[in-house]
């Protein structure tokens, strides 16, 4: 029988041990645990921090491009969280309406599903600090790794999602056209 109290205790213990034993350069995330909660949680609500350790190697554009199976430009049309089989964790499925497959250009799907760790189901929230967050209507440039079930994972954690405003890739202060050209040049043999 699944006991949320035990699960929470194990997750917190693993996170604390991981935070105290990790070394190297930290990128995106803190060494302290934070809890997500609603303003006034009910006695039945459970808030969990997924123990991802907060360590993501900082990737330059060349490495991110090389590690990705696909790079797409698209718009988030749906964000839905669910329990994994066995109710051991929450994942969020993000539906992307694809505007363009940057690489490989041979793919022709109109829509893809990206799965990220964490989310909220009912009163239970789990957070994975290295995973990107998505909002419906958001336009994005995504570096993706194919999963065996036909969905995708974001390559490089939060680094694999870049917000697009108008025609500007915000974090890089480059036009989308410049970014696409650079990514294609890096991916070509």
Whole-Å CA distances, 137 to 11, 88, 97, 147, 165: 33, 29, 10, 24, 11
pLDDT tens per residue, range 48-93: 444 445 566 789 999 999 999 999 999 999 999 999 998 899 999 9
Q: Where are the domains of the chain?
A: 61-118+130-187
Q: What is the pLDDT of residue 18?
A: 42
Q: What is the pLDDT of residue 57?
A: 79
pLDDT tens per residue, range 19-57: 433 333 333 333 222 333 333 333 344 444 444 455 667
Q: What secondary structure does DSSP assign to 22-39, as a single string?
A: --S---SS-SS------S
Q: How much of the chain, in percent, has pLDDT values that exceed 70?
A: 70
User: Tokens in use for 41?
Assistant: 């949680």
Q: What is the pLDDT of residue 156?
A: 94
Q: How high is the mean pLDDT of the chain?
A: 78
pLDDT tens per residue, range 118-138: 999 999 999 998 999 999 999
- Stretch 10-19: mean pLDDT, rounded? 40
Whole-Å CA distances, 6 to 36, 46, 81, 122, 178: 18, 12, 22, 19, 50
pLDDT tens per residue, range 135-177: 999 999 999 999 999 999 999 999 999 999 999 999 999 999 9
Whole-Å CA distances, 182 to 164, 185, 188: 16, 5, 10
Q: Please state, in angstroms and rounded to a whole number, the distance separating the CA atoms of residues 142 and 74.
A: 8
Higher pLDDT, 99 or 14: 99
Q: Please state, in angstroms and rounded to a whole number, the distance separating the CA atoms of residues 103 and 180.
A: 9
Q: Please state, in angstroms and rounded to a whole number, the distance separating the CA atoms of residues 64 and 34.
A: 28
Q: Please state, in angstroms and rounded to a whole number, the distance separating the CA atoms of residues 18 and 50.
A: 12
Q: How confident is the model at residue 188 (pLDDT cuts 50, 70, 90)?
A: confident
Q: What is the pLDDT of residue 39?
A: 36
Instruction: Please tell me whether the overall predicted TM-score, pTM, comes out greater than 0.85 for this model.
Output: no
Backbone CA torsion sign across 89, 164, 148, 156: negative
CATH of span 61-118+130-187:
2.40.50.120
- Phi, psi dihedral angles at 165 (to 5 degrees): -115, 115
Q: What is the pLDDT of residue 186?
A: 94
């Amino acid at each position: 029988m699944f006991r949320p109290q035990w699960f929470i205790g194990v997750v917190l213990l693993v996170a604390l041990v991981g935070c105290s034993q990790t070394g190297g350069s930290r990128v995106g995330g803190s060494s302290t645990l934070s809890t997500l909660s609603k303003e006034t949680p009910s006695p039945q609500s459970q808030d969990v921090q997924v123990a991802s350790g907060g360590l993501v190697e900082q990737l330059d554009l060349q490495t991110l491009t090389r590690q990705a199976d696909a790079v797409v430009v698209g718009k988030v049309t749906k964000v839905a969280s669910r329990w994994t089989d066995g109710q051991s964790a929450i994942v969020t499925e993000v539906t992307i309406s694809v505007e363009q497959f940057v690489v490989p250009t041979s793919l022709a799907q109109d829509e893809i599903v990206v799965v990220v760790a964490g989310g909220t189901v009912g009163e239970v929230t789990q957070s994975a600090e290295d995973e990107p967050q998505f909002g419906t209507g958001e336009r994005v440039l995504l570096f993706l790794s194919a999963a065996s079930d036909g969905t995708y994972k974001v390559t490089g954690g939060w680094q694999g999602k870049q917000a697009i405003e108008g025609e500007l890739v915000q974090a890089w202060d480059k036009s989308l056209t410049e970014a696409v050209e650079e990514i294609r040049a890096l991916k070509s043999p």
